[in-house]
Amino acid sequence: MKNLLNFLIKYSVVFLFLVLEIISLSMVFNNKDYQKSVFLSSSNSMVSTLYEWNNSIVEFFKLRAANDNLSEENTALKNQVILLQNELATLQPSDTDSIHFRIPPEMEYKFIPAKVINSSTNKLQNYITLNKGASDGIKPDMGVVSDEGVVGIVKTVSNRFAVVIPVLNPKIQVSCKFKNSNYNGSLLWSGQDYRYSNLTDIARHVKLALGDTLITSGLTSTFPAGIPVGCIEDFNIKESDAYYNIKVKLAVNFRTLLHVKVINYLNYNEQKELEKIPEE
Amino acid sequence: MALFIQNIVRFVLLVLFQVLVLNNIEFLGLVNPYLYILFIITLPVRLPNWVSILLSFGTGLLIDTFSNTHGMHAFAAVLIAFLRSGIIDLFITIEEGNNPSPTFYTFGMNAYIKYVVLMILIYHIAFFTLEAFSFTHLWILMIKIILSSLVTFILIMGLQTIKSK
């Protein structure tokens, strides 16, 4: 007994070291329980407050680019308004039966504007923190887009902040399709360059061209169809492969990302519940 | 007491600088120096091992919280804190009764550089390997480790020369 005690005392530092290393490692590998560990991530309110404060300074230097972006979007929207107005003017008002009038379910989206207060692009697993949270109606699994295209999916939400997994993280795959041919595949980041990602699951027989535009497929409840994802930068296929190896230039520049919109799909619960039934 | 306050101030400044400035350096997407380990490197030599290990664990966890890395920094920080006294003994013999904090002055140029380089390398190797958790992109991993370590080393040397003036 005494020997055992002596042994323990003699090597107490080694034990402490081992225990702490095991705790760290278990944290690294258990972060699937991400919801529980909000405390240790940047949606923790103290951490987020510090980042928000820091961001208010950094934001000032990005105003110019943000302005350019906004005015560009503005003109595009104005053009669209004029186009739609013309179209409306040419159509005679038909008698719509107001009782049977419904917004089609795939159109029932609302956007929640939010600001990026922390983000990384150089890690293997990148995360983005937003300054809006549960109190603004954000829930896990909502899609996040910017004016340029798809950003990512909300992962954790605290009362005032939300952590987003961007497409620059191999943990998520975004289902997308070609604008001109409707073939769909999933987008998976390889962890090397924040400007590029890879498209998988495109079979050999599909005809591709450099510069083809990719949009979201709308096959998941997270993103509506038609949001730009990127365009083909490069592709190749080996003699023995069934699927293309496609390099995609992402539409969003994650380095300058500042203003994003969170997509609130209003029929999310209904669709999820309905889809759950056949599985049982 | 002065030593105590000095270490706390150093801790706060290094963590803030790490989180607000260095974590945003994304040069070529490869360089991400972790200067905050200077806090662990500069802890007094005679500080009991278990104290420095616990302090490093806390510091690593704090940096983890800020960068969403979940225990990776804590792992690497505890590792270098554990090896610290061994590495110091490797390069220099501290006289009985002395309790210097490792700097240019106390260690001498030669021993200090060896000590710092070894600590930085161990830290960056542990952290980036744990982050990648595979050797599939071995070249990228090695370039990341070498460049980030180099930048951290230059920053530490720069800070030391500023302080000694």
Contacts of A191 in chain B (CB under 8 A): 132, 137
- What is residue A164's predicted lDDT score, i.e. its pLDDT? 92
Would residue B133 be called left, alpha or beta, if left means φ above 0 and alpha means ψ between -120 and 50 degrees? left
Q: What is the distance between the alpha carbons of residues B37 and B16, in angstroms, rounded to a whole number?
A: 13
ipTM: 0.80
- What is residue A66's predicted lDDT score, i.e. its pLDDT? 81
Would residue B87 be called left, alpha or beta, if left means φ above 0 and alpha means ψ between -120 and 50 degrees? alpha
Q: Point out the residues of chain B with pLDDT beneath 70.
A: 26-29, 163-165
Residues 42-71 of B with CB under 8 A from A: 49-50, 53-54, 57, 60-61, 64-71
Structural domain contains residue B20:
no
Banded pLDDT at A179 (limits 50, 70, 90): confident
- What is residue A102's predicted lDDT score, i.e. its pLDDT? 46
Assign a CATH topology to domain A45-83+105-169+259-266: Thrombin, subunit H (2.40.10)
Inter-chain CB proximity A192 and B137 less than 8 Å: yes
Structural domain contains residue B133:
yes
Say whether residue A47 is in contact with chain B using an 8 A CB cutoff: yes
- What is residue A97's predicted lDDT score, i.e. its pLDDT? 45
The yes-or-no verdict on residue A185 having pLDDT over 70 is yes
Burial of residue A115 (CB within 10 Å: 0-12, 13-18, 19+) is middle
Contacts of A124 in chain B (CB under 8 A): 131-132
| Residue of chain A whose Cα is closest to the Cα of B66 | A42
Query: Domain residues for B155?
Result: 41-164
Banded pLDDT at A91 (limits 50, 70, 90): low
Say whether residue A220 is in contact with chain B using an 8 A CB cutoff: no
The count of structural domains within chain B is 1
| Residue of chain B whose Cα is closest to the Cα of A120 | B24
The yes-or-no verdict on residue A88 having pLDDT over 80 is no
- What is residue B2's predicted lDDT score, i.e. its pLDDT? 80
- What is residue A99's predicted lDDT score, i.e. its pLDDT? 46
- What is residue A98's predicted lDDT score, i.e. its pLDDT? 44
Residues 120-139 of A with CB under 8 A from B: 120-125, 127
Residue B165 Cα, gap to closest chain A Cα (Å): 31
Q: What is the distance between the alpha carbons of residues A225 and A115, in angstroms, rounded to a whole number?
A: 23
Contacts of A271 (CB under 8 A, 6+ apart): A105, A221, A265
Say whether residue A191 is in contact with chain B using an 8 A CB cutoff: yes
Report the length, in residues, of chain A.
280
Q: What is the distance between the alpha carbons of residues A194 and A122, in angstroms, rounded to a whole number?
A: 7
Comparing A64-73, A166-175, A232-241, A250-259, which segment has the lowest mean pLDDT?
Answer: A64-73
- What is residue A42's predicted lDDT score, i.e. its pLDDT? 63
- What is residue B27's predicted lDDT score, i.e. its pLDDT? 67
Structural domain contains residue B24:
no
Burial of residue A210 (CB within 10 Å: 0-12, 13-18, 19+) is exposed
Q: Do domains A45-83+105-169+259-266 and A174-250 have the same CATH topology?
A: yes
How far, CA to CA in Å, does A42 sit from each of A61, A118, B68, B131, B154? 23, 8, 6, 18, 29
Q: What is the distance between the alpha carbons of residues A133 and A136, in angstroms, rounded to a whole number?
A: 6
Give residue limits of the domains in chain A. 45-83+105-169+259-266, 174-250
Inter-chain CB proximity A13 and B26 less than 8 Å: no
Q: Which CATH architecture has domain A174-250?
A: Beta Barrel (2.40)
- Is pLDDT larger for residue B90 or for residue A30? B90
A231 touches A190 (CB < 8 A) = no
- Is pLDDT larger for residue A111 or for residue A42? A111
Q: What is the distance between the alpha carbons of residues A186 and A175, in angstroms, rounded to a whole number?
A: 4
Comparing A32-36, A126-130, A135-139, A207-211, which segment has the lowest mean pLDDT?
Answer: A32-36
Structural domain contains residue B75:
yes
Q: What is the distance between the alpha carbons of residues B92 and B88, in angstroms, rounded to a whole number?
A: 6
**Which of B70, B78, B82, B122 has the highest number of chain A CBs within 10 A, making it the mutation to test binding with A?**
B70
Q: Could you say which of A121, A124, A125 has the minimum Cβ distance to residue B26?
A: A121
A55 touches A118 (CB < 8 A) = yes
- What is residue A71's predicted lDDT score, i.e. its pLDDT? 75
Structural domain contains residue B16:
no
Contacts of A194 in chain B (CB under 8 A): 29
B94 touches B106 (CB < 8 A) = no
- What is residue B77's predicted lDDT score, i.e. its pLDDT? 92
> What tens digit of pLDDT does each residue of A38-85 get?
556 666 677 777 777 777 777 777 787 888 788 778 777 877 877 787
